[in-house]
Structure 1
Amino acid sequence: MDLVGFALAVLLIELTPGPNMAWLAGLAATEGRRAGMSAVAGVALGLLVNGVLAALGLAALLKAVPQLWSGLQWAGAVMMVFLAIEAWRGSPRKEPRLAQDGLHRRAFLTGALINLLNPKAYIFFLVVAPQFLGGEVLSLANAVTLAVVSTAIATVIHIALVLAGARAYAWLSNPRRTVWARRVFAVIMLAVALSFLLADIG
């Protein structure tokens, strides 16, 4: 197994704008660093589960049954549209502690779901990952190893994105700026939803 080559491929893919990058940066900018870090943890969980599901044959099943693939695409797109609507509507910044805790739990769960419903994540394990196995079958052990490597690299990048996004949080304390930031964030989420629908498993 070529882990070095795989790690470089993951790095290049993670540096390419995608749903995680757009959502995490926007979330940290509009909701703060804690919410962003909660989301990073959820994203990491989703990425790890993707690897296990791929090894259990889900990626191949999605390719073999077009209806399941379409269902995954639409589920992911609907979720991104929901996030876009939520971002557009916004929420008060100064909320009670319990409300803030709920925000962080929701950020964690959303991060996990975005990756579980992201068609491109399954394309990755079906098309890209096997190229670095040296002819081996994508077994559970191999999938977990690749998932851990890719998740570790992705998490480092995602933490950096959240920290960068969070720097804008104080600047966005101005209500007018917050409104515009949320609307830009919402448009980005709609673009991600469209990209889910256009994903092709080949």
Structure 2
Amino acid sequence: MHLEVIITFIISSLALTISPGPDIVYVISQSFIRGKKAAIITSVGLTTGLLFHTLFVIIGLSLLLRENENIFFLLKILGSMYFIYLAFIVFLNRNKKIEFDSNEMKNIAFFKKGLLMNLLNPKVSIFFIALFPGFIFHDNLSSELQFLILGIIFWFQANLVFILVSIFSQKIKNFISSNKLFNNRKFIIEMCVYIFISIWILK
């Protein structure tokens, strides 16, 4: 077992997760707009999607995506359309007061939104299939088992990063929550985030 490979993978995973991208932007926006708890639940949905993408790598679906441009493009279109739809729903509900209650149905909705956001982004599977083979750390374990272990490590650190980002973003939000312009234009921020993710998926 090559421990230094795992350590390098952890450091690389942290750097990749912290770097600006749609997931971390979305978590920050949810913390700003809907509160820390909503952001954390959304984060759990996002990171649960990472486990599915790990499974896709193990069973070969990611390789199929990489080799079939038509399927990959179709999934990108579906993912992009989903976020355009979310932006449209935010616009329709722009005059409704955002509620911060924590009933179970709302929590499930936040989780589902995060999960769908991750699953409808085929770039994650392609990213994993490019990343994992470079960090084979054991000579006697099957590559499938090592991919699973690497996926779980990536999932764990992503949870940690997103939860910390949710908490930190909430503290920043508390400083600017008295700004009426910010409070009256939260829907614009949320719409812009969805549109950003939609464009990012199509890139």
TMscore range, shorter length: 0.7 to 0.9
Q: How many pairs are equivalent?
A: 196
CA drift of 1:170 comes to 7.8
Quote the residue 2:148 is aligned against. Answer: 144
Quote the residue 2:83 is aligned against. Answer: 80
Q: Find out whether 1:123 has 2:117 as its counterpart.
A: no
Distance in 2 (CA, whole Å) between partners of 1:150 and 1:115 is 14
Q: Give, as a single letter, the amino acid of the residue that structure 2 aligns with 1:193.
A: S
Structure 1 consecutive aligned stretches of length 4 or more whose deviation exceeds 6 Å: 135-138
CA drift of 1:164 comes to 2.0
Q: Deviations over 1:27-85 (max 9, x none)?
A: 11111112112111111211111101111101100012111101111122112222323
In structure 2, the CA distance between the partners of 1:96 and 1:17, relative to structure 1 (3 Å rule), is closer
- Unpaired runs of 5+ residues, structure 1, are none
Task: Trace 1:20-31 onto structure 2 (pairs within 5 A).
Answer: 20-31=23-34
Distance in 2 (CA, whole Å) between partners of 1:94 and 1:65 is 43
Q: Which moved more, 1:77-86 or 1:139-148?
A: 77-86
Task: Trace 1:27-176 onto structure 2 (pairs within 5 A).
Answer: 27-88=30-91, 89-90=93-94, 91-94=96-99, 100-133=103-136, 139-167=143-171, 168=173, 171-172=176-177, 176=181
Distance in 1 (CA, whole Å) between partners of 2:120 and 2:166 is 21
Q: Deviations over 1:7-36 (max 9, x none)?
A: 121111111111111111101111111211
Task: Trace 1:2-21 onto structure 2 (pairs within 5 A).
Answer: 2-21=5-24
Q: Does the Cα contact within 8 Å between 2:41 and 2:110 map onto a contact in 1? A: yes
- Which of 188, 196, 201 is the matching residue for 1:183? 188
CA drift of 1:173 comes to 6.5
CA drift of 1:96 comes to 6.8
CA drift of 1:180 comes to 2.0
TM value normalised by structure 1? 0.85
Distance in 2 (CA, whole Å) between partners of 1:128 and 1:3 is 13
In structure 2, the CA distance between the partners of 1:33 and 1:134, relative to structure 1 (3 Å rule), is closer
Bigger-Rg structure (1/2): 2
| 3-state secondary structure, aligned to 1:118 | coil
State, as a whole percentage, how many aligned pairs show the same letter: 20
Compute the RMSD of aligned alpha carbons: 2.5
Q: Deviations over 1:161-180 (max 9, x none)?
A: 11122231684366642232
Q: Does the Cα contact within 8 Å between 2:75 and 2:120 map onto a contact in 1? A: yes
TM value normalised by structure 2? 0.85
CA drift of 1:120 comes to 2.4
- Unpaired runs of 5+ residues, structure 2, are none
